[in-house]
A and B are shown apart, each in its own frame.
Chain A
């Protein structure tokens, strides 16, 4: 893959070569691993998969950034996980219930949920991702207000629940009623948009491992979300990250929680099928 990329790059103009240079950072083959994770690299689960190997974003980060995810104490995202743990047993809403009233011990009941989102929801007649499922439980079962997208509470709960599924391989359903959503997500992934006329694939499929200015491009995997980012100086959702990537190519981003991002979340999760959930990861 590395070689193929280099060949492609050298075939391009000078300006482009200046922009993309082979990785400066020795992220490389990781000796250490994120806490609770046994591998950051898996083989594609199906023949039609567009990648030869599936690599977690961790693989592409510098040793200093990786170090913050090697130990849960070093990982600042755990400030949110701990808050999520408190919220789990906090009673709220007219039904006088907390999450734990129905779901008991999250380490058992949420051991896989975080690896299978987005998931088909029969009642809603559409898929829901983790944030939407949490809010669905809040409004329908607790009779409490939905938490705002990117609010501390929703980020904390999402991080807490997904952390319970840490180590579990990502496995989303893509057939049956999920099929049209999957196709829609795939379509968005490969459609060029914005002033720069680029698609997600332009960066994350063709050039992972290459340096794009200050950043070393990854495959744009989603197994680490919600993720603590140095740039944000806090934890943030996957949809926030999607928005950032669209803004970088000067496209008008879809809204967080939109059907478009939900479809894209399903499709990108499938591109990382089999990769252990790392949430909450640490990124630059």
Chain B
């Protein structure tokens, strides 16, 4: 796909102290740099190399990603809910592109 598109599944609301599950997926070829084209030339590496999950500006979870992560990278992780606020999810591409997605979380 031309431009990467993120998908996020996180609860819209939760109770204080609850540990919630967050799932993310982004469209990306994750070209490993280890494949060759038909002429035998190495296809250059082009991957999502880093993922950050922030809540109210604070980093809660991060991943350093290597070419061994599958195409259309999937990540699932947990977060304890202390207060209401906003998630920000950030994917960094080898080509310098940055993909972000925001989502609000209510507590009550």
Contact = CB atoms under 8 A, between A and B. Distances in A.
A76 B5 contact: no
Interface string B74-104: 1000000000000000000000000000000
B25 interface: yes
A76 B2 CA distance: 16
Contact of B7 (A79, A152, A233): A79
A79 B9 CA distance: 13
Nearest to B70: A233
A74 B75 CA distance: 10
User: What size tier do the contact residues of chain A reach?
Assistant: 10 to 19
B92 to A, nearest CB: 19
B72 A79 contact: yes
A267 interface: no
Contacts of A76: 25, 71-72, 74
Contacts of A233: 29-30, 70-72
B7 A82 contact: yes
A212 to B, nearest CB: 24
Contacts of B5: 79, 82-83
B7 A234 contact: no
Contacts, number: 32
Interface in A66-91: 73-74, 76, 78-80, 82-83
Nearest to A86: B5
B68 interface: no
Contacts of B7: 73, 78-79, 82
Q: Which of A73, A78, A152 has the most CB of B within 10 A?
A: A73
A83 B27 CA distance: 11
Given A233-B29, A233-B70, A234-B71, A73 B9 contact: yes
B74 A74 contact: yes
Nearest to A228: B72
Contacts of B30: 233
A28 B9 CA distance: 30
Contacts of B1: 79-80, 83, 152
Q: Which of B5, B29, B30 has the most CB of A within 10 A?
A: B5
B52 to A, nearest CB: 20
B71 A79 contact: no
A74 B29 CA distance: 17
Interface string A215-236: 0000000000000001001100
B23 interface: yes
A230 B70 CA distance: 9
Contacts of A82: 5, 7
B27 A79 contact: yes
Nearest to A152: B1
Given A73-B7, A76-B72, A152-B2, 9 more contacts: A73-B23, A74-B74, A76-B74, A79-B1, A79-B7, A79-B27, A79-B72, A82-B7, A152-B1
Interface of A: 73-74, 76, 78-80, 82-83, 152, 230, 233-234
17 contacts: A73-B9, A76-B25, A76-B72, A78-B7, A79-B1, A79-B25, A79-B72, A80-B1, A82-B5, A82-B7, A83-B1, A152-B1, A230-B70, A233-B29, A233-B30, A233-B71, A233-B72
